[in-house]
Amino acid sequence: MGMIKNELVKFFVSSRIFIYGGTILLFIFVDNIVFGDNSAKGMIYRNFLKSNMETQIFAIPIILAPVVSDIFTQDYRSGCMKFFMIYKRREKVFAAKAAALVFITETMLLLVFGVLTIIYLCRNGGQVYGWKVELLREAALFTAALIPVLLIYIMICILLKNSGIICVLVFLLLIMSDFIPKVMGNITPRRFLWGWVLNNGYHSFDIVLFLAYSIFFAFIDIRLFVRKEILC
C-alpha cells in the first residue's frame, strides 16, 4: 500500500494534474457548449452519456499516455528505482504502479462522468433518476475497456524513450485508425472501446479476446519490467 500511495501522491501533487484536468474539461466544454445543442433536454441520462463517449474514447487514452509514461519512467530518470529495489521485489513495484494507474484512470473517468452529469442536471432542471448507479456502471465499463490499451502503453514505456508521444501515435495510427481493415480492427482494443463503451455490445468472443490481451500483455510487461532493471 505504501508504494501505491507514493505513486498517487506523486501524481496528485504534481502541477500536471491541472493540465490533465483542464484538458478533460476542455474536451467536454467544446463537445457540449461550443458544438453542442440543447438535445440533452430530450434525452434520457444514459443516452446523453453515450452521446459524449465518441469524443471521450479518443480524449481519455490520449491524456493517459503521458500519465503512464510518467509512472513507469520517472523513477528510472530520477534514480529512485534502484532505491525501491533494495527493499521491494520488482513484481511488487510493478503491481503498485499498475494499481495506481488504474486508480488514476478511474478518477479521470469519474471526473468526466461527474461533469457530464452536472451538465445534464442543469439542462433538465435537476431531475434525473438512477444517475449514481448509471455513472458508476459506465465508469467501470470504460475502465475495463481501457485495460488492454494501458497494458500496451506500459510495454512501450518500459521499452522506449519518448514513450508518451509513441503511445499516442500507436493509439491513433494502429488501435483507432480507420485505415486498418475492419477485419483487423475488430481484433484490436478498439473493439472494446467501440463495442463496450459506445454500444454496450457484449459477446462471448469479446471476453475471450479481452482476457487474451490482458493476460498476454500483463505477462510481457512484468517480464520486461523485471528484466529492464536487471540489465540496468
**Model pLDDT for residues 12-29, shown as the tens digit of each residue:** 888 888 999 999 999 888
pLDDT tops 60 at residue 230: no
Percent of the chain surpassing pLDDT 90: 30
Q: Which residues contact 35 (CB under 8 A, 6 or more apart)?
A: none
pLDDT tops 70 at residue 183: no
Helices (H) and strands (E) in the chain, counts: 10, 0
Local confidence band at 102 (pLDDT 50, 70, 90 cut-offs): very high
pLDDT higher at 139 or 230? 139
pLDDT attached to residue 231: 46
Local confidence band at 175 (pLDDT 50, 70, 90 cut-offs): confident
Out of 14-28, 39-53, 142-156, 201-215, which region has the weakest mean confidence (pLDDT)? 39-53
Decide if 157 contacts 68 (C-beta within 8 A).
Answer: yes
Q: Cell numbers at residue 70, please? A: 510518467
Among 69-73, 142-146, 180-184, 186-190, top mean pLDDT goes to 142-146
| Dihedral angle sign, alpha carbons of residues 152, 154, 159, 164 | positive
Q: Which residues contact 97 (CB under 8 A, 6 or more apart)?
A: 3, 7, 71, 72
Q: Which amino acid is at 113?
A: F
Local confidence band at 144 (pLDDT 50, 70, 90 cut-offs): very high
Provide the residue ranges of all domains of the chain, joining segments of one domain with +.
Answer: 2-231
Local confidence band at 106 (pLDDT 50, 70, 90 cut-offs): very high
pLDDT higher at 63 or 125? 63
| Dihedral angle sign, alpha carbons of residues 63, 67, 69, 72 | negative
Q: Cell numbers at residue 194, please? A: 467501440
